[in-house]
Structure 1
Amino acid sequence: MPQVVVSIDGKTFRMACAEGEEAHLSGLAQEVDARVNELRKSFGEIGDQRLVVMAAIMATDELSEQRRRVAALEQSLAETERAHQDALRRAEAGEERLVAHLDAISDAIDRAAGRLGGQS
């Protein structure tokens, strides 16, 4: 299993990851490091553990908001799909009525043609 060495808040950590995930893990660690540094600039020296917890809460808050947005989009997509299926059913019903009307017109034309042919 590959290992990656990352630096967060000036501290080095060796972390294991799945094959091919090394760059992704390094990128995530850089984001955490940036959050901790941002918090340190805003709040000063309030303790490493507190800064890391605050960074984790901020990331979790963003994740929660994204999950909420995904759920809303999934609901909207499902409603759109239901509306699409309803429209297809209505279109099929309209098509069936149109075919029935065309059949009736065709029959009427055939009857009229038969009557006209019998008059000669």
Structure 2
Amino acid sequence: MAHVIVQVNGRPYTMQCPEGEEPHLRDLAELLDSEVQRVKASVGNVGDIRMLVMAGLMVADRLSEAIERIRELEEQVDGLREARNAAQMEALEIQATLGERLMVASERLEVLARHLGK
């Protein structure tokens, strides 16, 4: 396990993470610290624990919104897949119908050609 020192609200915290995950942990700490700073700017200094809880709730709210948006986008993708599949089926049906009509037209032309050739 790697050890990383992160800063939240101006205070250092030593954290552990799997090797190679240090930059990600630093990014997460920066995200939390930015939320702490937003809380601090809007409500003032309310104590570390309460500020961290408020910042955590703000991050959780953003996460919740992102999860909902992902769900909506997945539904859209599913709808588009269904529409694509329906369009492909329709194209195959049109292709088959067109093929049948071309065969009928070809047979009629052959009959006409034979008739005109007499």
List 4+ stretches of structure 1 deviating above 3 A.
none
Report the aligned-residue RMSD: 1.3
Which structure 2 residues correspond to residues 98-117 of structure 1 after superposition, within 5 A? 98-117=98-117
1:3 is matched with 3
* Aligned length, in residue pairs: 118
1:92 is matched with 92
2:78 is matched with 78
1:33 is matched with 33
Q: Aligned with 1:4: secondary structure?
A: strand
Please give the alpha-carbon distance, in whole angstroms, between the structure 2 residues aligned to 1:45 and 1:67: 30
1:69 is matched with 69
1:20 is matched with 20
How far did residue 37 of structure 1 move? 2.1
How far did residue 32 of structure 1 move? 1.0
Identity %: 35
Q: Aligned with 2:15: secondary structure?
A: strand
TM-score by length of 2: 0.92
Q: Aligned with 2:20: secondary structure?
A: coil
Q: Which runs of 5+ in 2 are unaligned?
A: none
Q: Aligned with 1:3: secondary structure?
A: strand
TM-score by length of 1: 0.90
